[in-house]
Structure 1
């Protein structure tokens, strides 16, 4: 299946946006002065839950961005990225 160019750009932009937003969120989470993330220097449940949320969003944002990037490459006629055994040996099984 090939993605249209606008859809590929949207997915790539979403992946980049996800990283920008969640990196900022994680940075602010660790600089928290309100006492929600750290209590007497120890991490709280609030920190762990929001850190898990940020990590999950990093992973999903990366996956969506990669799908968009690969969709753009496929539309431009670039050779597909090797997968599996072909990637390891550098040869295609023809």
Structure 2
């Protein structure tokens, strides 16, 4: 699955989907530690979303709260994150 190459700090704010448009279990890309990682939305509000993701290619998962600029919708299945549900 191809990882996004966009720099989240250079995204046009008018093209960033608000966090409250994401729903629990939505597959997303999250930008953490300088790279995009596969994740899954746990909860969202108008200000932020809580996302489970795989940090640093490790077998475990992490949970973090992110603002919209650090998230993108994801289409492809990631077996290490999506199949845990």
TM-score range, shorter chain: under 0.3
Larger radius of gyration: 1
Task: Looking at secondary structure, tell me which structure has more helix per residue.
Answer: 1
Task: Looking at secondary structure, tell me which structure has more strand per residue.
Answer: 2
Larger relative contact order, structure 1 or 2 (CA cutoff 8 Å, min sep 6)? 1
Which TM-score applies when normalising by structure 1?
A: 0.22
Which TM-score applies when normalising by structure 2?
A: 0.24
